[in-house]
Structure formats: structure tokens, C-alpha cells
Chains A and B, each alone.
Chain A
Amino acid sequence: DVKVTQSSRYLVKRTGEKVFLECVQDMDHENMFWYRQDPGLGLRLIYFSYDVKMKEKGDIPEGYSVSREKKERFSLILESASTNQTSMYLCASKRTGSYEQYFGPGTRLTVT
């Protein structure tokens, strides 16, 4: 089974802190994605990566950056957390040539 894991299920941070959200997949997928989910808005893509050290902006990249130094790991970075970044963050991975994205369990981030 494909497994996508995220470093924390729940996280509480203070405004202005630097926040790292980690995502690891164990199926050698080339493509990885970070989404945020807010009530009434569905899932919105923040960034995605189609190869190591490659990244592309999604629909809402402002205030975020990403890092992909190894194929299995994709990190989302909030350089200076703000209260409007309080949200559920979901990571996903996908093999090139297939259609299904596999999601991690999500990290519910609260910024106070």
C-alpha cells in the first residue's frame, strides 16, 4: 500500500514563528503536492513538485515556500506564520503516468 505520512496531526504555533510541515511518501512517486483546506473553500493547491529540487507554484503560494531535497520528502515552510494560515494542510503524492493522488492524514495548524 502507498503510504503518505505527515510529521504532525496537530500543531500550534505563534504568529511570526517559522513553521516546517514535513511529508514523506514511500512509493517512489515523482510528484508531490501541498494543499490547504478551509471550510467552504475545498482544497486549494499551494505548491507542487515533479522532481527533486523542482517546484511549481499552485493557486495560493503567497506566504509559503517548499523544499524537496530527496524524492520521498516534500516540506512546506511558513517563513513567518500568520493567523490567516490557520488551516488543515494536506500532502499528496502521485506517480507520473497514473491518475490517482494519494493523500496523507493532514496537519491541522493553528497560529495564535
Chain B
Amino acid sequence: AQKITQTQPGMFVQEKEAVTLDCTYDTSDPSYGLFWYKQPSSGEMIFLIYQGSYDQQNATEGRYSLNFQKARKSANLVISASQLGDSAMYFCAMSPLPGAGSYQLTFGKGTKLSVIP
């Protein structure tokens, strides 16, 4: 079984500052993928970034980076230079075998990020 824990129900960050959203996970699978999704108030889930468990380097996508610490089982999302449009719910998720078959995502409960002007 897989489990994702997001301990921050809500976060505030000043515009243009960096913010880290925490995510820890638990799994017995030898290989897995870790994901972050953004959900604005409009409701759609937007894929942000992916990290494979065997990837040596931390994933980056523009202003998003994933701080992957395998020994600590953590996969924190770092957003640099926050913008007002970053205000949204953020979900951490994992799957047992990235890209293989139809394996479903297991989601955390989410963190609501509010960017203050």
C-alpha cells in the first residue's frame, strides 16, 4: 500500500518569495514515481512535475523543483519567485511503477497555498 502525507493544510507566501510545500510518502514498492499537481479554484488538475525513484537528479520545470530525499521518503515542491497566479491547492501523489500499465495515483490531502501581494 502507498501513502502520501501533506502536513500543511494551508500556507502563505509573499509575492516573489520562494515557498516549499512538504510531502512525505510511504511505499513498499522498489520503484515508484512522485508527482505534484496544482488545482486552481476553477477545479482542473494541472500536472506540474514528476520524479522517478531512480532518477539521480532532482526534477525541475521552470519555477518548480522537486526536492527528492529518498532516504527520508520526502518529495517537497519548491516554487521560486511566487506569483499571484500560484494561489491554488497543491497535491502530492505517487504511483508504484511510473509509466507502467494503468497503475493509479495515490494522492495526499493537499496544501492550500495563498500568495500575498
Q: Which residues of A are at the interface with B, using a C-beta cutoff of 8 A?
A: 9, 30-31, 33, 35, 40-45, 48-50, 56, 58, 88, 90, 92, 94, 96-106, 108
Contact in complex: A58, B100 (CB < 8 Å): no
Contact: A99 with B45, CB < 8 Å? no
| Additional 10 contacts, C-beta under 8 A, given A31-B101, A56-B102 | A41-B109, A42-B4, A42-B110, A90-B45, A98-B99, A99-B95, A99-B98, A103-B45, A104-B44, A108-B43
Residues of B within 8 A of A (CB): 4, 9, 33, 35, 37, 42-47, 50, 52, 91, 93, 95, 98-102, 104-110
Q: What chain A residues lie within 8 Å of B99 (beta carbons)?
A: 97-99
Alpha-carbon distance between A80 and B15 when the two chains are bound, in angstroms: 47
Contact assessment for A102 and B47 in the assembled complex, using a CB-CB cutoff below 8 Å: yes
State the CA gap A98–B91 with chains docked (Å).
20
The interface residues of chain A lying within 8 Å CB-to-CB of B47 are 100-102
The reply to whether A45 and B43 contact each other, CB–CB distance below 8 Å, is: no
